[in-house]
Structure 1
Amino acid sequence: MGALERLRKDWFILGIVLVITAAKLQPDFGVKGGPLKPEITITYIAVSAIFFNSGLSLKTEELTSALMHVKLHLFVQIFTLVFFPTAIWLFLQLLSITPINEWLLKGLQTVGCMPPPVSSAVILTKAVGGNEAAAIFNSAFGSFLGIVITPLLLLLFLGSSSSVPFSSIFSQLFMTVVVPLIIGQEKSVQKGIQSPLLTRGSEIHNLENLQRGDLCYLQWGAHTGCSPFKPMGLEYAQPSIFTGGVQNRSPAKTEGQLYMKQRKG
């Protein structure tokens, strides 16, 4: 396989590296209200496009069949919201005896308590030939569970209390995940995937490339919103649960944020 053919096949990995590098070099593009309006294009449009495309490409039978895999759903949710946070906590007990900053450890525990990222989990599962329908259900369901479970985990492991804007988070998840998926399914059934872009066969690859391109854009937005990459004085659109980060309407500020505010005060 030639280098050009290899690049065409594996462009997604290279794309992820390039957007993270671009985020490091030009983090000001991630500023809230900036030229690309990431608080709108990332949080709503890009995520909705991913699930609209999933609705178009998946058969209804695949989605309904995925709902019946109860043991799989239990395993995924227990692993994500019970085993993983606990494993991180045990690992951090070992790291606590090292010189690593305490707030970095608390930040790692906070990330470990987050629900699964919806968009990246779906696309990466599809990329390796996994069960995309099951990934959609578990990612979305895990995010809904995280509205309640994540604050409890933070209270358990960090002792941080929190208040949760249930309605805003629930409505955002519903409008950017469930509704686009349903609309995509409806269009798929109506048109039978007959348009030039959506016909079964080689053209279905176009949908996969669109989803991967969306994920690259989401990762760019997430990394321009990460503090190691941003200059002082800029306000960034924060990463959301959809991009693998903490929801910008998160249940509570981490202890590290509160600590930094106290120091500034």
Structure 2
Amino acid sequence: MTGGADDKEERTTRCHLAANMVQRIKKNWFLLGVVCVITWAKLWPWLGAKGGPLKPEVTVKYISVMAIFLTSGMSMRTEDLTQAMMNIKMHLFVQSYTLILVPCLVSLLVESLRLMSLVNPLFLQGLLVVGCMPPPVSSAVILTKAVGGNDAAAVFNSALGSFLGIMVTPILLLYLVGTHAAVPFVSIITSLSLTVLLPLVMGQVIRGFIVNWIEEKQPPFGSISSSILLFIIYTTFCDTFINTTSGVDMTGLLSVIVIVFLCQATFLSVAYLLSSYVMRFPRGDTIAVMFCSTHKSLTLGVPMVKIVFANNPQLSSLTIPLLVYHPTQILLGGFLVPFLQSWVSHGPGLPN
């Protein structure tokens, strides 16, 4: 009898352990997904690289970004988006942080590293270019939504930052890098309008017809966006592994990776402290601020680098900091998601 009782208790214990394991996997599925897609990118980079079978130049640049803003438009209440647009204080903070403070901080860092002669001068120029870039139109929105932050504010600031960057980035490059960049304004504005504004408006229109169904069924828009982000991470790392594995000084590459990681950790920390304890933004707004103000656009960045340094034989080395920055910001943001979710869940108000 005792043996049977022990067996039953052991089976119960195993069931509890299995249930706990399943629960942890469900809770951290995104982090596990990040590890998996990076591993796949390392093993099969040709599959998701530009020109590869998955065609990220179309599926990511257009389809994925449009899907993100279409689902954002469907999931957000119109009054929330309208309210987000009126949050002038937050918009000024985000745009000033990403287009003024970050370039200044990167410039100071580059000058310090240049005096110490610790990093390849080409990589330092590349870091300056990264600092001048505007925010992207996808990753900040997805991560804000995944955490449970103010995704309406993230949508508005990402779009606004991209449009401002078209005008501000060339000025920053001229001032900090010393090279003039002729940016194709019309084509970039057209692209942003088609991939950001149009899907967002369409999502709002669709929501108007099925709002009752959305509120009743609660579709997993957050999980959909997170899945899209995993695809973006995979294709981004495919490009990174292919473009940074040949003809590059590995010591210099490692130094860039370390510098970029430390920069992003610093930018995120400063954004959190300023928005939480100086500006006193609510938790949801703080999440949007953290991602929108610290992320940099690869989509606008790579064409910009090619325009500015068109005749430079070391163009590939100049693009490495941006290629490193892009996956790092997504990876770091992805790992922060569960911790920030816990922080936001304590309440929508001001931090303790």
If the TM-score is normalised by the length of the shorter chain, which range does it land in? 0.7 to 0.9
Q: Using the alignment, how far apart are the partners of 2:55 and 2:301 within structure 1?
A: 15
Does the CA-based 8 Å contact 1:27-1:229 persist in structure 2? no
1:16-55 equivalences under 5 Å are: 16-55=34-73
The TM-score, its normalising length taken from structure 2, stands at 0.65
Q: Using the alignment, how far apart are the partners of 2:316 and 2:78 within structure 1?
A: 52
Q: Deviations over 1:83-120 (max 9, x none)?
A: 01101111111111132111111111111111112211
1:200 to 201, 215, 221: 215
Q: Using the alignment, how far apart are the partners of 1:71 and 1:148 within structure 2?
A: 21
Does the CA-based 8 Å contact 1:55-1:185 persist in structure 2? yes
In the alignment, structure 1 residue 189 sits paired with structure 2 residue 243: no
Offset at residue 12 of structure 1 (A): 1.5
Counterpart in 1 of 2:336?
Answer: none
Identity of aligned residues (%): 43
Please report the RMSD computed on the Cα atoms of aligned residues, expressed in angstroms.
2.6
Q: Name the stretch that deviates more: 211-220 or 177-186.
A: 211-220
In the alignment, structure 1 residue 250 sits paired with structure 2 residue 264: no
User: What SS does the aligned partner of 1:2 have?
Assistant: helix
- Kindly name which structure, 1 or 2, has the bigger radius of gyration based on alpha carbons: 2
Offset at residue 227 of structure 1 (A): 6.0
Offset at residue 225 of structure 1 (A): 2.2
Q: Using the alignment, how far apart are the partners of 1:85 and 1:243 within structure 2?
A: 11
Q: Using the alignment, how far apart are the partners of 2:216 and 2:212 within structure 1?
A: 10
Offset at residue 143 of structure 1 (A): 0.2
User: For residues 173 and 244 of structure 1, do their structure 2 counterparts lie closer, same or farther at Cα, with a shift above 3 Å needed?
Assistant: same
The aligned amino acid for 2:22 is L
1:167 to 186, 192, 202: 186
2:195 to 162, 176, 188: 176
User: What SS does the aligned partner of 1:116 have?
Assistant: coil
Q: Where do 5+ consecutive residues of structure 2 fail to align?
A: 1-18, 247-294, 318-352
Counterpart in 2 of 1:72?
Answer: 90
Does the CA-based 8 Å contact 2:45-2:242 persist in structure 1? no
Q: Using the alignment, how far apart are the partners of 2:296 and 2:55 within structure 1?
A: 16
In the alignment, structure 1 residue 98 sits paired with structure 2 residue 117: yes
User: For residues 200 and 259 of structure 1, do their structure 2 counterparts lie closer, same or farther at Cα, with a shift above 3 Å needed?
Assistant: same
Q: Using the alignment, how far apart are the partners of 2:124 and 2:223 within structure 1?
A: 36
User: For residues 32 and 111 of structure 1, do their structure 2 counterparts lie closer, same or farther at Cα, with a shift above 3 Å needed?
Assistant: same
Q: Using the alignment, how far apart are the partners of 1:73 and 1:20 within structure 2?
A: 33
Counterpart in 1 of 2:157?
Answer: 138
User: For residues 262 and 147 of structure 1, do their structure 2 counterparts lie closer, same or farther at Cα, with a shift above 3 Å needed?
Assistant: closer
